[in-house]
Amino acid sequence: MNLLLAALIGLLTACGVFLLLRARTFSVALGLMLLSYAVNLLLLASGRLVLQQPPVLEAGRAHFADPIPQALVLTAIVIGFGMTAFLIVLALRARAVLGSDHVDGVEPGPSGSASPGETPARG
């Protein structure tokens, strides 16, 4: 199980990073989503994998999963939601003002690559 989860976390990270490096804002938002899944699972994994022992106290049970990573992940999910929402609205505003959903705010020139040193228009 350890290997499977580690591999999945790695895969989610890889997909997230790849999308994060794309040029369109929507892809970046999706990449951030995948990346936060990976991070949340990683945080949870820091409490080690425990089956059927939720950290809810009840009589007759002596073993519980580590509650601290769970508390951290809960916070992370909330903040992640706030950030995704802000990011996506920011992207929409950028498109409204600049007319492009490219992350640099301008469509790259006909040569295909923004020339280094050239500052994109600021919104």
Partner 1 sequence: MLALIILLPVLGAALPLWLQRRGRNACAWGTALVVTLSMILLLGLAPAVFAGRLVQWGLPWIPALGLNASLRLDGLGLLFGLLITGIGLLVVLYARYYLAAHDNLARLYALLLLFMGAMLGIILADNVLLLLLFWELTSLCSFLLVGYWHERGDARRGARLALILTAGGGLALLAGLLWLGQVAGSFELSTVLLRGDVVRSDPAYLGILLLILLGVCTKSAQFPFHFWLPQAMAAPTPVSAYLHSATMVKAGVFLLARLFPVLAGTEAWFSLVGGVGLFTLLFAAYMALFQHDLKGLLAYSTISHLGLITLLLGIGTPLAAVAGVFHIINHATFKASLFMAAGIIEHESGCRDMRQLNGLFKYMPQTALLAMVAAAAMAGVPLLNGFLSKEMFFAETVHLARLGEISLLFPMLATVAGVFSVAYSARFIHDVFFNGEPINLPRLPHEPPRYLRVPVEILVALCLLVGMLPSYTVGPLLAVAASSVVGTALPPYSLAIWHGFNLPLLMSTLALFGGVLVYSQRAILFRLHERYPPPVGQLLFAAGLNRLLDGARWLTGWLENGALQRYLALLVLAALLAGLVGLWPTGLPATVHPGPALNLLDLVFGLLLALMALLTVRWHERRLLALLAAGGAGLVVVLAFVRFSAPDLALTQLTVEVVTTVLLLLALRFLPLEMRQNALHRPWRDMLLALAAGLGVAALAWGVLNTAPQPALADYFLTHSLPGGGGTNVVNVILVDFRGFDTLGETTVLVVAALGIAALLAGGLPQPVAPAVVSLPRALLLQIGVRPLLALTLLMAVYLFLRGHNLPGGGFVAGLVAALALVTQYLADDFRAVTVRLTLHYPRYMAAGLLLIAITGALSMVLGYPFLTSTFVHVQLPLLGDFELASAMAFDLGVFLVVIATVLAILLGLGDPGREAV
Q: Which of residues 27-46 bind partner 1 (CB under 8 A)?
A: 27, 29-30, 33-34, 37-38, 40-42, 44-46
Shortest distance (Å) from residue 104 CB to partner 1: 5
Tokens of 44: 């949870």
d(CA 26, CA 98): 15
CB of 90 to partner 1, least distance (A): 6
Q: At what angle do helices 67-98 and 25-45 cross, to 10 degrees?
A: 170
Q: Locate tokens 């790695």: which residue? A: 10
* CB-CB contact of 61 with 3 (8 Å): no
* Residue 3 interacts with partner 1 (CB under 8 A): yes or no: yes
The owner of tokens 């505003």 is 93
Count interface residues toward partner 1 (CB under 8 A): 93
At 107, the amino acid letter reads E
Determine if 60 is a binding residue for partner 1 (CB under 8 A).
no
- Other beta carbons within 10 angstroms of residue 39's beta carbon come to 17
Residue 61 binds partner 1, judged by CB under 8 A = no
Q: How far is the CB of 35 from partner 1 (least distance, A)?
A: 9
Note whether 82 binds partner 1 by CB under 8 A.
Answer: yes
102: β partners: 24
User: What minimum distance in Å lies between the beta carbon of 49 and partner 1?
Assistant: 4
Q: Which of residues 98-117 bind partner 1 (CB under 8 A)?
A: 99, 101-104, 108, 112-114, 116-117
